Chains A and B, each alone.
Chain A
Amino acid sequence: MNTQEITLNMGPQHPSTHGVFRLILKLDGEVATGGTSVIGYLHRGLEKLAESRTYPQFIPYTDRLDYLASMSNNLAYVQAVEKLMGIEVPERAEYIRVIFAELQRIASHMIGVGTFVMDLGAVTAVFYPFIHREKVIDLFSMTCGGRLTYNYMRIGGVSHDLPWGFVPRLYYFLDYMRTAIDEYHQLVTGNEIFLSRTKGVGIITPEDARSYGLSGPNLRGSGVRYDVRRAFPYGIYDRFEFNVPWGETGDCFDRYMVRVQEMEESVRIIEQAVRDMPEGPVMAANVPKVIKPPAGEVYHSTENPKGELGFYIVSDGSTKPYRIHIRRPSFVNLAVLDKAIIGWKVADVIAILTSLDFVLGEVDG
């Protein structure tokens, strides 16, 4: 019997493509036989814009890369510039940066996990993480006034110190977070339907993961234990004691589990950071008013919630960078999608897509 392959366009407008992402899917009945990702619907030319902005002026632009992890983007960029200029950041600022970066990791994974379960059909599962995330955002907006994009890190430190009342609220949040994660394990991780939808689905082998350049929970879910915080420690991450969770099989369930466990680890790191944080200035004293790095180039990468975010900055000695290239983790992670969905049904295509947890702001830049 002759059957026909249909081409289904999961267009830029779709309830579960997490932004304006287009996937042209070739289906043989229910089974996907191939797919082509089409991106660029959110391209804003950030790298080109950087050439006509001064170094401090570019910090708000980094917020808008992966708009769900703005603090981490800020951190990567300012650390790259500090590396280029050889600026030492004061201790207190380093601890504050770690606290905010890890809080941001919790917030970002909350969305990643919530939307993952929502796309499997349990709409309720997106509301609970968003409630937890609200508490993180309350902490952020208390400090710097922003809820999604913060522009908080500065070249040489952070823009201002923690507000009065921040630390008690942070402790309250950390206690609350533990019960929240338990609740999540109860409702989702043990659910029979959830397990049958995600276990063994969308397996990405470690070899594929390495060759496609995956990073973050996607890579660690496949069993490759690479975390930038351990491999190339930046800031003061080498002072903290935390585990790097990883998965055995590389299926959707492992990627989900890695994210949930990373949230638990972030809570540990924040507790240690708050305990050890010294008093002091939050901005380096010797940072010039006009940032003019010496001519040269630098590449610096950090462990973003989505993966390894890298900034490659080429400076020609003036106040504006000659070229900034951003190694965007979602852009690189997305490349594996075309291979990972082959042989899986339409429902699984959605599950795999969401388990990669990419953000279109970062994919398109």
Chain B
Amino acid sequence: MSFITNAWNFCWDLGVRLFWWGLDLVKFLLDFADNIFLFVAGTVRFVLNWAVTWLGMGEFGNVLVEIAMVVVYLAGILGVIMVSAVVLILAERKIAGFIQLRPGPNRVGPWGMLQTVADVLKLLSKEDIIPRGADRFIFRLAPVLILVPTILAFAVVPFGRGMIAADLNIGIFYLVAVTSLATIPFLIGGWSSNNKYSLLGGMRAVAQMVSYEVPMVFSLLGVVMIVGSLQMSAIVEAQSRVWFVFLQPLAFLIYIIAATAELNRVPFDIPEGESELVAGVYTEYTGMKWALFFLAEYGNLVLVSAVATTLFLGGWHGPLLPGWFWFAAKTSVLIFFFMWIRWTFPRVRVDQLMNLGWKCLVPLSLANIFVTGIGVYLYKSLGW
């Protein structure tokens, strides 16, 4: 009798212990997964430091290690951009297909998964044509330049807990400054092509992108006012209890609209206006140059969704699963949303676009800043 009671107690006790050990194990694994990229980066840094001390390079060696780490971070970011571009190209076409009641690419690989490979191979093998009369140096420079702001901007994007390449204390400011640079390659690409369609596309691109910078920045200002800091990691930290999309819904909406215009996507794809300007700015670009323009568009799409996630949707916060997973999930939802809009709406006309930007979005975003200012003041002074 007492044997059975003892056995039962023993088993129960063991079960409880195993349960708590199991929970601890799961917590450890989740924590490890959360920090896995930091772990890898840390290992690389450790190895580099050891190599530098072994070679006895002193101060200069530390500088070298820092530069090498920057290269490692750059490789990581480029990896993210490339992988996401590969996935997004297929995702866009599949989503387009499903919205249009057709299957999308499904010949190359299961579910069409090798379609991007086929596309890249095709683009690499295309003849590289530079039109006669085009400004050769600028023509070749434009697709190269267009990727630069995107990659630069990714340096301040927090992919997860502690996973920012450069946690500048002027994070947002740097981001806005760098994304403004993205206007120039459109202008020079359009001008140097020696083609009226490209010229029209380039001019429209400048008008559009410059106009929509203003409401985009103003909508970000509301968030900065609430947080009180421009640092990206601080902004994410501040959202640990409530996401800013609930505190700043109007700013979120304005940001999404302005971002669609910055990305040159429908309903604001006037620079590329396919049915009007053949291919607008991209008309004379063939093969890999055109591919670079599109790589930049998808890179920008990921960047804009990542920034919106960071500023409005709580960044990498989320229960249980690793931070970078939540970040990726939220970014993916936003990307899907952008694609959904693209395949549903017609295009706005250029003057309607400017009207919307200057007469509608700018006053709204200014009003948003005003109301946010009042709110922050009241919060601070009344201690809400």
Contacts and interface: CB of A to CB of B under 8 A. Distances in A.
Interface of A: 6, 8, 14-16, 30, 117-125, 127-128, 131, 187, 191, 193-194, 196-197, 345-350
A121 B266 contact: yes
26 contacts: A8-B196, A8-B197, A16-B276, A30-B350, A117-B346, A120-B275, A121-B275, A121-B347, A122-B266, A122-B343, A122-B345, A123-B96, A124-B96, A124-B343, A125-B346, A128-B100, A193-B346, A197-B346, A197-B349, A345-B349, A345-B351, A346-B277, A347-B270, A347-B276, A347-B349, A348-B349
A84 to B, nearest CB: 44
Contacts of B274: 15, 121
Given A118-B275, A345-B351, A350-B276, A131 B101 contact: yes
A191 B200 CA distance: 27
Given A121-B267, A121-B269, A127-B102, A14 B278 contact: yes
Contacts, number: 82
Interface string B241-284: 00000000000000000000000001101100111111000000
Contacts of A346: 200, 276-277
Interface in B95-125: 96, 99-102
Given A121-B267, A122-B347, A125-B346, 20 more contacts: A8-B200, A120-B346, A120-B347, A121-B266, A121-B275, A122-B343, A122-B345, A123-B343, A124-B96, A124-B100, A124-B343, A128-B100, A131-B101, A191-B346, A193-B345, A196-B349, A197-B352, A347-B273, A347-B350, A349-B276
Nearest first, the 5 closest Cβ-Cβ pairs linking A and B are A121-B347, A120-B346, A127-B100, A122-B346, A121-B346
A125 B344 CA distance: 8
A350 B197 contact: no
Interface string B276-295: 11100000000000000000
B348 interface: yes
Categorize the interface residue count of chain B.
Answer: 20 to 34
Interface string B53-92: 0000000000000000000000000000000000000000
A131 B102 CA distance: 10
B267 to A, nearest CB: 6
A347 B102 CA distance: 28
Nearest to B348: A193
Interface of B: 96, 99-102, 196-197, 200, 266-267, 269-270, 273-278, 343-352
Given A121-B269, A127-B100, A350 B346 contact: no
Contacts of A196: 348-349, 352
Contacts of B96: 123-124
Nearest to A192: B345
A74 B9 CA distance: 93
Given A124-B99, A124-B100, A16 B275 contact: yes
A8 B199 CA distance: 11
B119 to A, nearest CB: 18
Nearest to A196: B352
A348 B343 CA distance: 21
Nearest to A187: B344
A194 B348 CA distance: 8
A194 B346 contact: yes
B68 to A, nearest CB: 47
Contacts of B275: 15-16, 118-121, 350
Contacts of A187: 344
A131 B100 CA distance: 10
